[in-house]
């Protein structure tokens, strides 16, 4: 099973709240790609943060969650939105109480339908270089690129650039963008892995 958890990267979530959400609020359609989403805690965390901060405009949000999914399990887990107690323990209590309820299975919790229905999962290999769609407002790709060779990383990042409609890219904290990407993205603030697409 892939390593992931709910509310994993608070710094990026705060930056999305402060820099990305204010721009998204005025949009009629909001398309987000979570590339390498594992079994769902990351796209669902993002969905809950967006719901908390966007009010009614949250209904315009679609999160396209993709993963190579070697286990062939992620799609079912994400669709059901049911997670064991140990996976939901880090979620801030007010968020947990608002968006989770006990599932049929003992010691499992199900995410509210409102959150579940904005996330759709597709099985996809990023190295095929086929974007999930174009006209994206935000691409989130965290703790995935580090598994790729240098040229693969460049190719995947260029694909993200082309698929974005002047929006944002969030990557893992440890990765600096390769020099080949100069002029493609600019950091939103220093020392954070949130970038704005340049032209
Ligand atoms: C460490 S997990 C990160 C999950 C989540 N993004 C996070 O940060 O919590 C890495 C994920 O990348 C996926 N992955 C690895 N290679 C991939 C590829 N070529 N295409 C799509 N997903 C891939 C794995 O299946 C795994 O779910």
Residue 158: partners with Cβ closer than 8 Å, 6 or more residues away: 181, 184
Q: SS3 letters for 37-86?
A: CCCCHHHHHHHHHHHHHHHHHHHHEEEEEEECCCCCCHHHHHHHCEEEHH
What is the pTM for the complete model shown? Answer: 0.97
- Adjacency order of strands within the sheet including 82-84: 82-84, 108-111, 100-102
Closest CA to 99 of 90, 108, 91: 91
Positive or negative: CA dihedral 141, 147, 151, 155: negative
Using most ligand atoms within 8 A of CB, pick from 6, 9, 13, 67 the residue to mutate for ligand 1.
67
Residue 164: partners with Cβ closer than 8 Å, 6 or more residues away: 136, 137, 138, 139, 197
- 8 in helix, strand or coil? coil
How far does the centroid of ligand 1 lie from the alpha carbon of residue 97, in Å?
28
Residue 195 is predicted with a pLDDT of 96
What domains are there in the chain, each with its CATH number?
10-197 (3.40.50.150)
Q: Is the CB of 175 under 6 A from ligand 1?
A: no
Please write the tens of the pLDDT for every residue from 4-59: 999 999 999 999 999 999 999 889 999 999 999 999 999 999 999 999 999 889 99
How far does the centroid of ligand 1 lie from the alpha carbon of residue 152, in Å?
14
What count of other Cβ atoms lies within 10 Å of the Cβ of residue 90?
13
Tokens of 37: 């989403």
- pLDDT over 80 at 81, yes or no: yes
**Residue 172: pLDDT band with limits 50, 70, 90:** confident
- Adjacency order of strands within the sheet including 30-35: 119-123, 61-67, 30-35, 136-141, 164-171, 194-197, 185-187
What count of other Cβ atoms lies within 10 Å of the Cβ of residue 65?
28
Q: Is the CB of 193 under 6 A from ligand 1?
A: no
Q: Is the CB of 3 under 6 A from ligand 1?
A: yes
Q: Is the CB of 127 under 6 A from ligand 1?
A: yes
Q: Is the CB of 142 under 6 A from ligand 1?
A: yes
Q: Is the CB of 148 under 6 A from ligand 1?
A: no
Q: Is the CB of 125 under 6 A from ligand 1?
A: yes
Tokens of 74: 């992620």
């Amino acid at each position: 099973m892939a390593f992931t958890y709910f509310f994993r990267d608070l710094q990026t979530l705060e930056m999305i709240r402060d820099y990305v959400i204010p721009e998204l609020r005025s949009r009629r359609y909001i398309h987000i790609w979570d590339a390498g989403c594992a079994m769902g805690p990351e796209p669902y965390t993002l969905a809950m943060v967006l719901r908390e901060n966007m009010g009614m405009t949250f209904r315009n949000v679609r999160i396209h969650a993709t993963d190579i999914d070697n286990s062939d399990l992620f799609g079912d887990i994400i669709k059901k939105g049911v997670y064991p107690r140990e996976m939901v323990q880090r979620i801030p209590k007010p968020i947990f109480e608002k968006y989770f309820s006990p599932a049929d299975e003992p010691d499992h919790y199900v995410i509210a339908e409102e959150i579940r229905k904005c996330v759709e999962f597709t099985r996809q290999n990023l190295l095929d270089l086929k974007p999930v769609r174009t006209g994206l407002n935000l691409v989130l790709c965290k703790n995935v690129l580090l598994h790729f060779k240098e040229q693969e990383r460049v190719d995947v990042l260029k694909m993200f650039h082309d698929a974005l409609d002047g929006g944002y890219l969030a990557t893992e904290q440890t990765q600096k963008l390769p020099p080949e990407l100069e002029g493609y993205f600019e950091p939103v603030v220093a020392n954070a892995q949130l970038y704005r697409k340049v032209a």
